Amino acid sequence: MEQSIEAKYTLTDEGFKELRDIIYKTSGIYYSESKKYLLESRILKRIQSLKLNSLYDYVNFIKNPANKGELKNLFDAITINETYFFRAEQQFDALEKIIIPELIRNKSPQMNPVVIRIWSAACSTGEEPYTIAMIITEKVKPIYPNVQFQILGSDISSQVLEVAQSGIYKEYSVRNMPEVYLKKYFVSKDGLYYLKDEIKKLVRFSNINLFDASQMKLVSNCDVIFCANVLIYFDIPAKQKVVSYLFDALNPGGYLFIGYSESLHGISKAFKLVHLPKAIAYKKE
């Protein structure tokens, strides 16, 4: 029997809860009832690609353990990937002027060469880790030529990581970037901006789900973690879990930066809140 358009493209309350639970259990992302419409609209392209008949069929499809591979596409469809170069300008400024010099001072004299590890967790299309790589190249390396910097960018969505790896950006991404960086580190052609290899090669990308304990254990000994504008999509227990993994991944003396609109209040007492000029950071003592 032909289904009505409404039945095809909307979920029953029960179907919504089933899908929401699958998303929550696998990624920590929590869709409240008020976001039902948003979730439905984001899944529509999946039912079209899979040639399924309705959102209801999609819920059954994703529930089937044989279709575990679909989770990757689900994450691509439901994540919000907004980002741009130099988004957290004041945090990057503090990183360059205060945090990196402090970390270098506190590294053991036995460490030769000195290595600083920076992780942009939930980096979306790569603007955040590449901004860090450009600032290090432009401002930090001339002062500390012998220090090695390892920068990791990770995300749950493989689609955004492909863009990150390509290093090709639209005007929107570079709109906040100081002219000097744009001129020096990009080639612009046909309205696109191609990041030069000199910066691209400084960042390694990996698909890491912040909510997955075994994947999170693979990253350790970080000196600085940026985990910005992603905790907002989790509920409190998921935030607590993810923040505890990030704490474990940091070296003592290391710093965590989160988004300007985010806070660890009521989430974790493990860090010391540090006030920097125009930014705050969370320090693992």
Ligand X SMILES: C[S@@+](CC[C@H](N)C(=O)[O-])C[C@H]1O[C@@H](n2cnc3c(N)ncnc32)[C@H](O)[C@@H]1O
Residue 285 CB coordination number (10 Å): 9
Question: What are the b/e assignments for 113-131, b being 16+ CB within 10 Å?
Answer: ebebbbbbbbbbbbbbbbb
Question: Scanning residues 129 to 158, which ones bind ligand X (CB under 6 A)?
Answer: 155-157
In the complex, minimum distance from the CB of residue 141 to ligand X, in angstroms, rounded to a whole number = 23
Question: Scanning residues 157 to 196, which ones bind ligand X (CB under 6 A)?
Answer: 157, 160
Report the amino acid identity of residue 128: E
- Cα angle 51-57-62, degrees, rounded to a multiple of 5: 95
Among 6-14, 121-129, 170-178, 186-194, which window interacts with ligand X (CB under 6 A)? 121-129
**Calpha distance 36→158 (Å, rounded):** 24
Compare residues 54 and 83 and give the one whose CB is closer to ligand X. Answer: 83
Binding mask 62-81 for ligand X (x = CB under 6 A): -----------------xxx
Residue 124 sits in the site that holds ligand X (CB under 6 A): yes
Binding mask 226-245 for ligand X (x = CB under 6 A): --xxx--x------------
Compare residues 129 and 254 and give the one whose CB is closer to ligand X. Answer: 129
Judged by CB under 6 A, the number of residues near ligand X is: 25
Binding mask 33-52 for ligand X (x = CB under 6 A): --------------------
**Calpha distance 250→230 (Å, rounded):** 18
Q: Cα 200 to chain center, whole Å?
A: 17
In the complex, minimum distance from the CB of residue 104 to ligand X, in angstroms, rounded to a whole number = 25
Q: List the one residue from 12, 49, 68, 82 that touches ligand X (CB under 6 A).
A: 82
Among 102-110, 141-149, 222-230, 262-270, which window interacts with ligand X (CB under 6 A)? 222-230
Residue 87 sits in the site that holds ligand X (CB under 6 A): yes
Question: Scanning residues 3 to 32, which ones bind ligand X (CB under 6 A)?
Answer: 27-29
Among 176-184, 192-200, 207-215, 273-281, which window interacts with ligand X (CB under 6 A)? 207-215
Compare residues 160 and 279 and give the one whose CB is closer to ligand X. Answer: 160
Which of these, 28, 91, 30, 106, lies nearest to 225 by C-alpha position? 91
Which residues sit at the interface with ligand X, rule CB under 6 A?
A: 27-29, 79-83, 87, 122-124, 128, 155-157, 160, 209-211, 228-230, 233, 259
